[in-house]
Structure 1
Amino acid sequence: MSSFSVHVDSEFESIYNLVPKPEQKVVKPPMYKSRHNPLAPIPFSTNKGLGPNIGKLKNNADPIKFLRKSTPSKRNPLKPIENNFNYPAPKPLKAKVPSKDERPVVGLFTEKNFVTANAIEAILAVPRVPDASAPDYLKKEDFGKVPKYLGEVKQEIEQENEMIDAFVRKQMEAYEDTPELCDAMPEEERIVLIEKLKTKWDAVNKKYQVLCMHTLYEGHQKARKEAFEEEMNGIEADLEKLTSKGPLMISRG
């Protein structure tokens, strides 16, 4: 017994499409109706009662005769402006620049002797009368006397000096009570030390002069040169201390 099956493919026409299908009625939902009255005026509006007239000309006004800039209206008429501003007086102008055709006056000479004229004017001048209202400082009570504040300043300076002397005296007393910590270097020992330092400086200087004759190409040669310079500077500082005037003190132990 054989069985027969029909393969239905969506890409090809199906035999089931030949069977008429019943029409389906579309059921529409009820129409929406607002519960508010559309003809009622808008609440909290500034144009109550003017809604039907918006966009319309009132009182048959001419659309060409509209208000333009700076045109007074019935509600806001233009008020006359009081102009109380006074312009300041014009400043005097500077003299004009002379033109190219104007020539200065040249070649004028005078025979007046200004030295003689000044001398005659000084001789014939009336002496000035001193002003009686000006104070005469020569008749003051404290004229020629030392001011009081200078005496106070001098007294303060003396008090400060006394305090400093007392402090130094106290420090010296405390230093005298302590045992001596230094001894004076003998003169013979100082002379020997100076000769040895000079001999050492000559030896270092000889090495330094030989090194300076060569061109410094490497870093170690430059380092040796700086070491010689530092050593000679130290020897010179020691020689300066040893050759200074006065006794040379050496600390104990």
Structure 2
Amino acid sequence: MSEVVYPPESVYNCLPKTEVLTQKPSRYMSKFRQTVILEEKANKETMRTMGPAKVEVASPDQYTKKHLKEPKLAKSEYFYQRHSCTVKKPPVPARTDNPPLGIHTKRDFIKTTTLVPMKPQPTCVDSKGHKQRLENSGLVPKYLKKKDYGEVPEYLIQRNEEKQRDQEDYENFVKDQKEQGAIKLMSDMERQALLADLKKNWDKLHHEYQGLSLVTDTLSKKAHKEKLEAAMKQLEEDIDLFEKFKTIYLPNH
């Protein structure tokens, strides 16, 4: 907090001021101070002299010679045995001598061994510089080399058999119903007439749908619009059914 300073002529300057004494904290002293001093003095006592007190002086004949202080490698017995002349090597064979059996010389090895050069692997490099083997790139028609190439897969054969079985069951059912007189076949003229009536009804609903207001602000308008959409959708499904199937059976009441 900053001290308040009054002008030189002020009543507050006549008041006695109390001196505030700040007490400094005691200086930190390590507990190992005396131990460190004793160790330092002990180490200095050993280093007062310049070298050992008594030194063995060499005689004048034993002076330092050249390469005397260089480190020398220890020579093993193998070194002496290899470089010594105690063992005499066999003489060089003549040009007419035949090599002993079971031993191949360098010249025979070169004649007998023939290295087959490696064939370069076909590779493929794309526009970004990525390199890969042509066999794994998908550009080679590997499927031509398959054992089952050109054969119909088993799942397709099974699917066709199931489809044929269902068709046979349906035909047998229709045949039984015909024999019992429960169903009758719709003629082509009846189918065309019914299809024309369905399309005519759809045109009427579509014309009515086009005349609806753009804003459906009431519940009745919204319900009428949804009703027309559902009726048109049902008519579209019926038209697709009559156009897709040429043979239609009706129940005989």
Answer whether TM exceeds 0.5 for this pair. Answer: no
TM-score by length of 1: 0.31
Over alpha carbons, which structure has the higher Rg?
1
> As a proportion of its length, which structure holds more helix?
2
